[in-house]
Amino acid sequence: MYGMVNKAIQDLVTNNFGEDKWIAMKEKVGFEDDFFISMQSYPDQLTYDLVGAASEILEISAGDVLEAFGEYWILYTADEGYGQLLNLSGSDLKEFLGNLNMLHDRITNIMPDLEPPKFTVKEIGENKVELIYESDREGLASMVVGLLRGLGKRFNKNCAIEHKNLRSEFGKDTFIVSW
């Protein structure tokens, strides 16, 4: 995954739990560089290791780390100079969700090593959509819950997120988002 993702984890931990927690995490995973390069690709394993280390050091479940990270990612990218890109992806929650593949296509033009997930969105009610999430990566469904929560906040929507179908059982992760 691109360094940006690891950098966002660093930022989340440093801002919310303090620099020393981050230093302990770095040590635990054996990352010895001074910083991440946003536009460089790092092994996925490093990101998984960081989540594992955060879980141990902060004493919260890995699922909760992923969820917190997902929510933070929306704020983080908006703040780090990509607000325009997010603005282009929709001015309300439904529109944004419908444009997730387009957003990732745009990013792939600039970050060719991106391995974006694929989304299928179906409107199932006035303020309700079904979102199918397919990623080559395992175990990130909790992150998607956080991402959806972060998007809800971005659009000032109090949304409910139900993880309806689990990939482990049904081959795909399906979420019902309503607001």
**How far apart are alpha carbons 82 and 89 in whole angstroms?**
11
11 binds ligand 1MF (CB under 6 A): no
Nearest alpha-carbon partner for 95 in 151, 12, 163: 151
137 binds ligand 1MF (CB under 6 A): yes
Task: Work out which of 5, 12, 54, 129 binds ligand 1MF, going by CB under 6 A.
Answer: 5
Which range binds ligand 1MF by CB under 6 A, 15-23, 25-33, 102-110, 162-170? 102-110
Q: Which residue has the tokens 């594992």?
A: 52
> How many CB atoms within 10 Å of residue 156?
9
116 binds ligand 1MF (CB under 6 A): yes
**How far apart are alpha carbons 83 and 89 in whole angstroms?**
10
Q: With respect to ligand 1MF, which residue has the nearer C-beta, 1 or 132?
A: 1
Task: Work out which of 121, 140, 145, 177 binds ligand 1MF, going by CB under 6 A.
Answer: 140
Q: Is 47 within 8 Å of 8 (Cβ atoms)?
A: no
Q: Sketch the per residue contact string, 32 through 71, with ligand 1MF: x for CB under 6 A, - otherwise.
A: ----------------------------------------
DSSP structural state of residue 138? S
Angle between the N-to-C axes of helices 3-17 and 62-77, in degrees from 0 to 180, rounded to the nearest 10: 100
**How far apart are alpha carbons 132 and 166 in whole angstroms?**
10
Q: Give me the least distance between CB of 87 and ligand 1MF, in Å please.
A: 11
Q: Is 70 within 8 Å of 149 (Cβ atoms)?
A: yes
Task: Work out which of 100, 121, 129, 177 binds ligand 1MF, going by CB under 6 A.
Answer: 100
Which range binds ligand 1MF by CB under 6 A, 9-17, 26-34, 140-148, 166-174? 140-148
Residues within the interface to ligand 1MF (CB under 6 A): 1-2, 4-5, 77, 82, 85, 100, 103, 107, 110, 114-117, 135, 137, 140, 144, 147-148
